[in-house]
């Protein structure tokens, strides 16, 4: 049951990150069935 709040928090934070990134990736780090971290790698495109 504790996973539910963990998953909701992870989804909320992931959605926030997706709204702020133009190019790059967002990676969820999972251990023991729980999200323990979220990595955001943003790339900058030079024109």
Q: pLDDT value at position 6?
A: 86
Query: What average pLDDT score do residues 15-29 get?
Result: 94
The answer to whether 38 and 28 are in contact (CB under 8 A) is yes
Beta-carbon neighbour count of residue 37 at 10 Å? 10
What mean pLDDT is predicted for residues 27-35?
93
* Phi, psi of 12, rounded to the nearest 5 degrees: -65, -45
Q: Model confidence at 43, in pLDDT bands (50, 70, 90)?
A: very high
Confidence of residue 4 (pLDDT cuts 50, 70, 90): confident
C-alpha 44/C-alpha 34 separation (Å) is 31
Rounded Cα gap, residues 16 and 30, in angstroms: 19
Instruction: Name residue 27's beta-bridge partners.
Output: 39
């Amino acid at each position: 049951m504790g996973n539910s709040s963990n998953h909701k928090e992870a989804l909320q934070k992931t959605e926030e990150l997706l709204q702020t990134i133009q190019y790059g990736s967002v990676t969820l780090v999972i251990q023991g069935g729980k999200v323990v971290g979220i990595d955001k790698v943003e790339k900058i495109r030079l024109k």
